[in-house]
Amino acid sequence: MIENLDLSTVDWSRAQFALTAMYHWLFVPLTLGITFLLAIMETIYYKTGNPEWKRVTKFWMKLFGINFAIGVSTGIILEFEFGTNWSNYSWFVGDIFGAPLAIEGILAFFMESTFIAVMFFGWNKVSKGFHLASTWLTAIGANLSALWILIANAWMQNPVGMTFNPDTARNEMMNFWDVALSPMAINKVIHTIGSGLVTGSVFILGISCWFLLKNREVGFAKRSILVASVFGLISSVYLAATGDGSGQMVAKHQPMKFAAMEGLYKGQERAPLIAFGVLSNEKVKDHSQRDPDKFALKVEIPAAGSLLAFHDFNAYVPGIYDLVDGVPERGLLSTQEKIYRGRKAITTLRDYKIAKKGDDPVKTEALRKMFMSDDFQDNYFKYFGYGYFKSPEDVIPNVPLTFYSFHIMVVLGTFFIALFILSLYLSLSGKITKYKWFYYLSLLALPLVYIASEAGWVVAEVGRQPWVIQDLMPTVAAVTNIDSSAVVITFSLFALVFTLLLIAEVMIMVKQIKIGPEE
């Protein structure tokens, strides 16, 4: 359905955006989480007047500053890519998607940038109270910045609060609050920010344990571990709770993603939850086999999949084949039927544009009236994006990547809860300096928390493929029709620059950690 489009441009544009987003996401979670930890530490200093807490705060603030500077640069590039690589997407939904981005830039980013200067350079220039307020406002500003980006992303996963204008072929916002306060947006915001809080806590815990391992700055490390343990345990439990809400949102609005997360090919009542599984690769490649069990090895929790999806042990959870083939008795249309309806919506829109250009007011009005009718919107335009697909199997995402990423994220999330429980116990009991194995375990958690965070991003974005806007616009229709060689060049340049930036950040951080807190 897409004419004169080099499909390699789609692949390279996706690869470039994924590269930029994944590098950006290496910096964002730490920024979101550690700012609140800084605010808590400085609050303790403000209340107690103990200069040791000031040393603690200033050390972690320095590491936050290194991370923040590089994170901003990758984020700006991401926003530019919407225009350079995804211009059709920007045209189709720019009136809606642009609003949260504009608010993020005008309100949150400027708020964050203003008070971060006071936070870093105002220690001896402003009162203790004003400096503390600046630190809290920096934390709030950083998370508000993420909030608006996540609202925009949630709208792509579940488009609400808009109407389609056939005259401009653009979606237009009808209700801002429907977009900003949709259940998908609220859940995505609280779950993603929770991930950042856990990342910040693991970061402080791991580096503090390095100091204990080296028998350096023991008092500083013990203070940092106590704050990170309390904050991390609360955050990790909160993250698990919001993950349950995320599962329900995905099951309701993106059932194909949920089925891929669980490797569920054939739907069933009392659907199990795969606690551990190894997909059989030779079967996964051929979806036409319709084999309902594509696991070489699996450990199931009976009925837990239905509970996660709908909070009902007996609920029916559709599988990948059910969503492709349709289950009429359960109200599930086949993908082939959706393709037919989507093509009818596209054809009707094209006929309307031709009639309007041909100066045929009677036909134009008749087509417009039909296109905008509730029946047509609910039964045809609703599946507009399906009209671009050639085969029903095109709607199946990369199941192995989604499945393994989801389970890695869940397993590591459980590990972090156990780690913080142990850390808090050792800290409160005064045994934190006795067990070197715990220091190594905490250092191991440092790379693992980034793996868990990136795995969550993969589940959210790869799991919803081939959609850039769920049911309305597939990725293949969103890309800019440019020569793929241009994207290959920028991809290569970005890969080189981002890798150098990451190496530079790690080297600078390691140097600052070795120097330690100021005397």
Domain ranges of the chain: 13-181+480-510
d(CA 281, CA 400): 8
Q: How many CB atoms lie within 10 A of CB 276?
A: 11
**Token match 């697909």: residue?**
389
Q: How many CB atoms lie within 10 A of CB 382?
A: 16
| Ordered mean pLDDT values, 10 residues apiece, the chain (519 residues) | 68 91 89 93 94 94 88 80 88 87 76 84 90 92 88 92 89 90 91 93 96 92 95 94 90 94 91 87 53 80 91 93 92 94 94 87 90 92 93 92 94 95 94 91 96 94 93 91 89 92 91 88
Picking from 108, 187, 198, the residue whose alpha carbon sits closest to that of residue 150 is 187
Picking from 472, 430, 496, the residue whose alpha carbon sits closest to that of residue 225 is 430
User: What are 243's two structure tokens?
Assistant: 């993950």
d(CA 341, CA 392): 13
Phi/psi for 483 (5° steps) reads -70, 130
User: What are 154's two structure tokens?
Assistant: 């949630």
Can you say whether the dihedral through the CA atoms of 406, 411, 417, 420 is positive or negative? negative
pLDDT single digits (tens) 11-67 = 899 999 999 989 988 888 998 899 999 999 999 999 999 999 999 999 999 999 888
DSSP, residue by residue, 438-456 = HHHHHHHHHHHHHHHHHHH
pLDDT single digits (tens) 315-354 = 999 999 999 999 999 989 999 999 999 999 999 999 999 9
Residue 159 backbone zone (phi > 0: left; psi -120 to 50: alpha; other: beta): beta
Taking each helix axis from N to C terminus, what angle separates 399-428 and 255-262, rounded to the nearest 10 degrees? 70
d(CA 208, CA 230): 14
pLDDT at position 284: 43
d(CA 332, CA 515): 61
Q: Is the pTM of this model over 0.85?
A: yes
- Do 507 and 208 touch, CB atoms closer than 8 A? no
- Longest CA–CA span in the chain (Å) reads 85
Provide the 3-class DSSP secondary structure of residue 187.
Answer: helix
Residue 125 amino acid letter: K
- Residue ranges of the alpha helices (H) in 254-265? 255-262
- Do 192 and 146 touch, CB atoms closer than 8 A? yes
How many angstroms separate the Cα of 340 from the Cα of each of 347, 350, 375?
10, 15, 16
Torsion of CA 154, 199, 14, 181, to 10 degrees: 10
pLDDT at position 324: 93
Question: Distance of alpha carbon 72 from its chain centroid, rounded?
Answer: 17
pLDDT single digits (tens) 415-464 = 999 999 999 999 999 898 888 999 999 999 999 999 999 999 999 999 99
pLDDT at position 359: 79
- Do 222 and 56 touch, CB atoms closer than 8 A? no
